[in-house]
Structure 1
Amino acid sequence: MAKITAGVATSHVPAIGAALDLGKAGDAYWKPLFDGYEFSKRWIAAEKPDVVFLVYNDHATAFSLDCIPTFAIGCAEFFQPADEGWGARPVPVVEGAPELAAHITQSVIESDFDLTIMNRMEVDHGLTVPLSLMFGQPEAWPCKVIPFAVNVVQYPPPSGRRCYNLGKAIRKAVDSYGKDLKVQIWGTGGMSHQLQGPRAGLINREFDTMFLDRLVNDADALSMMPHIDYVREAGSEGVELVMWLIMRGALDAEVEEVYRFYHVPASNTAVGHIILKNKS
């Protein structure tokens, strides 16, 4: 049977991808950040997931303001890296897992979560930067990926509670899939940051640390945090953290914290990263 073996959360700052693509990972500014992912690259090389269910948000690439689904699942065989204004990132094409994606889609919709089915979709830095951080710069990504886009751009985004419960529905779907597969679920985006207005550049280390601690040990209560608390404490883009709750909801109530990394700044953003495994 398929099994979710681990959860990974990480920021997906677009400048991280640019630094990698332009050969600047060893520069004094960027090296401390990339050094923080060396453990993770060794860990995932040993884990060898078959599929990554990758929760991210689209940045006006696949979806414009004309149409923004709350939850959209990629069911295609392949997903091309998007041109976000400077050309597509020089990273491998993302290979999908359409059979598993279709199974998850049916199970989750039958659990009363409405999903938009994407049979064609380009993927932007929200998805490709986490892959680069965890896998480096391979000729091909070493596993299949199911993209899962969440609206945290246009108000109102889904609540943390709904995201947490959606994670539980995804876990149920994966557990009921008949083929032996090692599946990881990733939540991306965050941590505290704001890109515009008088609070542009906001970073709140205290809030970020609290969020990481509670994500491990108090996730059920953390999922009740209202949108306004994210905006007030973590900035207007800090609400991306609700996507981490989808990852956490798909794991057991008790988890083992394998690794944690936190770094500021990366292009006016706090970068957070955590790896969790079920204790069972």
Structure 2
Amino acid sequence: MARITAGVGSSHVPLLGVAVDQGKWQDDYFGPIFKGYEWTREWEKREKPDVVILVYNDHASAFDANIIPTFAIGCGEHYKSADEGWGPRPVPDVEGHADLAWHIAQSLILDDFDMTIINEMDVDHGLTVPLSMMFGQPEKWPCKVVPLAVNVVTYPVPSGNRCWALGEAIARAVESFPEDLNVQIWGTGGMSHQLQGPRAGLLNREWDNKFLDMLESDNDDVRYIPHIEYLRETGSEGIEMVMWLIMRGALGKKVKRLNRHYHIPCSNTAIGHIVLEPAD
């Protein structure tokens, strides 16, 4: 059967994609950020996941204010890089795993999660930047991807508890898929940042690292952090961290941390990264 072997959390700051695409990832500014991903890139070469379930949020590329799904799963065969106003990123197309995606969609809907099914869409930096951070600049991405888009842009957004529960349901779905697959689940977005208003540029190193500590914990207290705390402590865009809880919920009660990295600033954003594996 298929199995979830690891979870990865990572920021998906668009500037990191620019650094990769323009060959600046080793300069004085970006070097310390990318250094924290070196271990993970080597680890991914050894792990060779067949599929990554990649949890991200769309930035008005596939969806806009007319259609705002809370949870949407990509069930297509492939996805092109979106044009976010300055042309598509020069990265490979993303190859989907339609059979697994449809299986997960059916399982989640029968498990009482109201999923939006997407058969065709372009994917923006929320999805392609994490792939670049883990895999560099290959001619072809080394695994297939099941995109799972979460609304963290327009309120109401799903609670941390609901995201954690979705992760648990995804784990059940994957385990019931008959094909032998090495599956990873990635939660992306965050960490603390605010892009507008009087608090633009807000960063909170202490709270971000407390959140990472809670992800490593054997208890599930992190799932009950209220939205107002994310907003107060990490800025308006810090709410993206609820997507990491989908990843964490899929790993079971106990986890082992394999890698962890934190850096500020990148543009006006805090960079966080963690790799966990189930330890039950």
| DSSP-derived class of the 1:194 partner | coil
Contact 1:193 1:238 in 2 (8 A): yes
1:16 paired residue number? 16
2:279 paired residue number? 279
For 2:21 and 2:138, locate their aligned partners in 1 and report how far apart those are by CA, in whole Å: 12
Contact 1:108 1:170 in 2 (8 A): yes
1:216: how far off?
A: 1.1
The TM-score normalised by the length of structure 1 is 0.99
For 1:279 and 1:14, locate their aligned partners in 2 and report how far apart those are by CA, in whole Å: 33
**One-letter amino acid of the structure 2 residue matched with residue 84 of structure 1:** E
1:255: how far off?
A: 0.5
For 2:268 and 2:145, locate their aligned partners in 1 and report how far apart those are by CA, in whole Å: 29
Residues paired across the two proteins, number? 280
For 1:20 and 1:151, locate their aligned partners in 2 and report how far apart those are by CA, in whole Å: 26
For 2:239 and 2:18, locate their aligned partners in 1 and report how far apart those are by CA, in whole Å: 23
**One-letter amino acid of the structure 2 residue matched with residue 268 of structure 1:** N
1:22: how far off?
A: 1.3
1:230 paired residue number? 230
1:24: how far off?
A: 1.2
For 2:70 and 2:26, locate their aligned partners in 1 and report how far apart those are by CA, in whole Å: 38
Contact 2:218 2:255 in 1 (8 A): no
Contact 1:192 1:234 in 2 (8 A): yes
Q: Percentage identity across aligned positions? A: 65
Contact 2:168 2:252 in 1 (8 A): no
1:259: how far off?
A: 0.6
**Runs ≥4 residues deviating over 6 A:** none
1:201 paired residue number? 201
**One-letter amino acid of the structure 1 residue matched with residue 251 of structure 2:** L
1:51 paired residue number? 51
Contact 1:190 1:239 in 2 (8 A): yes
| DSSP-derived class of the 2:65 partner | coil
For 2:70 and 2:95, locate their aligned partners in 1 and report how far apart those are by CA, in whole Å: 23
| DSSP-derived class of the 1:270 partner | strand
Contact 1:219 1:248 in 2 (8 A): no
1:129 paired residue number? 129
For 1:19 and 1:184, locate their aligned partners in 2 and report how far apart those are by CA, in whole Å: 25
| DSSP-derived class of the 2:139 partner | coil
1:58: how far off?
A: 0.1
For 1:259 and 1:227, locate their aligned partners in 2 and report how far apart those are by CA, in whole Å: 27
| DSSP-derived class of the 1:103 partner | helix
| DSSP-derived class of the 1:6 partner | strand
- Alpha-carbon displacement from aligned partner over 1:113-143 (angstroms, at most 9, x marks no partner): 0000000010000000000000000000000
2:138 paired residue number? 138
1:107 paired residue number? 107
**One-letter amino acid of the structure 1 residue matched with residue 111 of structure 2:** S
For 1:210 and 1:149, locate their aligned partners in 2 and report how far apart those are by CA, in whole Å: 25
1:68 aligns with 2:77: no
For 1:150 and 1:279, locate their aligned partners in 2 and report how far apart those are by CA, in whole Å: 27
1:218: how far off?
A: 5.0
| DSSP-derived class of the 2:236 partner | coil
Contact 1:52 1:185 in 2 (8 A): yes
Contact 2:6 2:276 in 1 (8 A): yes
2:270 paired residue number? 270
| DSSP-derived class of the 2:18 partner | helix
- Runs (5+) with no aligned partner, structure 2: none
1:41 paired residue number? 41
**One-letter amino acid of the structure 2 residue matched with residue 202 of structure 1:** L
1:181 paired residue number? 181
Give 1:78-89 correspondences, 5 Å limit.
Answer: 78-89=78-89
| DSSP-derived class of the 1:274 partner | strand
1:254 paired residue number? 254
**One-letter amino acid of the structure 1 residue matched with residue 265 of structure 2:** P
1:279: how far off?
A: 1.4
The TM-score normalised by the length of structure 2 is 0.99
1:3 paired residue number? 3
1:219: how far off?
A: 5.0
For 2:154 and 2:203, locate their aligned partners in 1 and report how far apart those are by CA, in whole Å: 22
